[in-house]
Chain A
Amino acid sequence: MKRFDKNGSLALGFNLVFLVFLIAPLVVVCLVAFTDKGYLSLPRDGLSLRWFVEILDHPEFIDAFWFSVYLAFGSATLAVMLAIPAAIATARYKFPGRGLVMAFFMSPLMVPHVVLGVAFLGYLSKLGWSGTYIGLVACHIILIMPYALRLVLASVTGMDRDAEAAARSLGATKWVTFRRVTVPLILPGVTGGWVLAFITSFDELTMTLFIASPSSTTLPVRMYQHITETIDPLIASVSAVIIFITIIMMMILDRIFGLDKLLVGK
């Protein structure tokens, strides 16, 4: 038999246990979602889709899902639009305070989400923006900016600038050069940054819990509220749907960007 790698059997055993530990809770969620019972249980007497059908009778989850999508779409798009000029400034100009500006944009990573939640709750209610779409988008932009900026910056730094020089010397205006040469060249990094920002916004719970209102509830917040009241097969089936969607998305992302590149940020 061909040896797959340099690991001994002990190492491969460890690897197996480690992977089971990581996957088990997600598998359990999916299994419980298929139960035919009215209470939490593994589907021992046969699989049933009753709890997936039940989701359709709970529009609050479906509404929350769509609100999360709109929120993540809006804030990821705006964050990337702010990140592109900031990345160009950092990659191409030397100016006083360059490192400081970068550290400022990366600083939300250092702030616990509960602290951001506390700060935004007080601020939005002062502004009268509590529970509004625009208020939530503004808060999410701060949260996801570091993720968007890191990938956009990597692509701007790694870009070949000769193509721009060639376009300019052939008579293209600055704007045409930017639109037809620069943008296509940095597009992979920008898309990667947008995707990562979208996912981060979509999954965020802690901060959003403070600033969401009944009319602007995201899916994780809705699920949290449900879990604190009761843990039933319904919440398992909602989670299973999220897991399925994520797996499909992950495969697409891995094909296009490579998952490790996206998460390590190189």
Chain B
Amino acid sequence: MNKWLPPYLLNGPALVIFTVMLVVPMVMTLILSFNSFDFYGGIQADDYGWHNYLEVVKDSYFHEIFARTYGIAVAVTLICALIGAPEAYILNRMSKTWRSVCLLAILGPLLISVIVRTLGWALLIGNNGVINEMLLGIGLIETPLKMMFTTGGIVVALVHVLVPFMVLSVWTTLQKLDPQVESAALSLGASHFVTLRRVVLPQVMPGVLAGSLIVFALTASAFATPAILGGRRLKVVATTAYDEYLNTLNWPLGAAIAVILLIANVVVVMSYNRYVERKYAAVFD
């Protein structure tokens, strides 16, 4: 028997399912994205071209949507890095019992559906929401603040949904560090701030970068949070593709938007990985 046969046989079932259920549908979507569409006749079977892509590239309506999506993704990633990395550092210095309690509170929400977490934010920031109710109650404001259906609201809620990934990523890196290096810097007379900046930060940077990648990719493709907190007006790429599919029923255009989103994500992830690997080649070897 061929010595290479067993591993292929073992992988066989999963390979078949993945080919039939992932490769074929993705290729069909790619083909569909080149199809033309007519509002009266529907999808034009034998008419292929670049027009769906040209429409996205030319129309300022889509420019705005893509700019908003990636703007939100950059903002959410930066905020997650700024608050997630310090939190991971603090966690790492905690006593064991406290750490496991805090970790439970940070990781727990990951197991709760995004829709529940987003609903929490809708209840908090809505016009009749808890925050407005409280501020009105103590007389700090006279009319409700508008936080629902704003980009800021979407950003805060997405930070809430995604920051656990950043904490997790930085914390994993911190665990590999030798705590004595930090003690050495301190005992040699470096201040706390200098130690953090010159000793700790460079060592956890790979963790911050890996976490940023996860947060960025997930924000750029987020659907539920922008759909609920952004409403009809503040569209992002994912909600636009959804609307083209299920409201306008222009499947080819929706498919083109989906393909662009996928390619953009893959390009960002790959080039980012290459950059990080080159910069930290010494760390990964």
Contacts and interface: CB of A to CB of B under 8 A. Distances in A.
Contact of A29 (B87, B123, B228): B123
A141 B21 contact: yes
Interface residues of A, number: 87
Contacts of B93: 5-7, 11
A101 B160 contact: no
Interface stretch (B12-20, B45-53, B56-64, B277-285): B12-20
Nearest to A114: B238
Contacts of A118: 29, 241, 245, 254-255, 258
Contacts of A1: none
B160 A110 contact: no
A153 B122 CA distance: 39
A186 interface: no
A136 B266 CA distance: 26
Given A4-B98, A227-B228, A263-B168, A119 B123 contact: no
Interface in A20-77: 21-26, 28-29, 32, 39-42
A210 interface: yes
A206 B228 CA distance: 12
B65 interface: no
B185 interface: no
A156 B151 CA distance: 45
Contacts of A88: 10
A45 B256 CA distance: 53
A14 B117 CA distance: 22
Contact of B109 (A26, A110, A145, A235): A26
B4 A22 contact: no
B119 A231 contact: yes
Interface string B217-256: 1001101100110000000011001100110000100110
A104 B17 CA distance: 12
B108 A113 contact: no
Contact of B120 (A7, A25, A119, A122): A25
B177 interface: no
B8 interface: yes
A260 B224 CA distance: 26
A19 interface: yes
A147 B172 CA distance: 18
B21 A19 contact: no
Contact of B114 (A82, A110, A203, A260): A203
Contacts of A12: 90
A142 B22 contact: yes
Contacts of B181: none
Nearest to B159: A21
Contacts of B259: 115
B106 interface: yes
B25 interface: yes
Interface string A103-133: 0110110111111011111110010000000
B163 to A, nearest CB: 7
Contacts of A28: 120, 123-124, 130
A156 B262 CA distance: 32
A206 B223 contact: yes
Nearest to B96: A5
Contacts of B108: 246-247, 250, 259
Contacts of A249: 111
B238 A112 contact: yes
A185 interface: no
A21 B90 contact: no
A114 B29 contact: no
Nearest to B269: A110
Given A112-B265, A206-B238, A231-B119, A86 B14 contact: yes
B271 interface: no
A174 to B, nearest CB: 11
A18 B160 CA distance: 10
Nearest to A260: B103
B121 interface: yes
9 contacts: A14-B86, A14-B90, A22-B106, A25-B117, A29-B123, A120-B25, A123-B25, A223-B115, A259-B108
Given A114-B223, A227-B228, 4 more contacts: A4-B98, A119-B25, A145-B14, A203-B114
Interface of A: 4-7, 11-12, 14-15, 18-19, 21-26, 28-29, 32, 39-42, 82-83, 85-86, 88-90, 92-93, 95-96, 98, 101, 104-105, 107-108, 110-115, 117-123, 126, 138-139, 141-142, 145, 199, 202-203, 205-206, 209-210, 219-220, 223-224, 227-228, 231, 235-236, 239, 242-243, 246-247, 249-250, 254, 259-260, 263-264
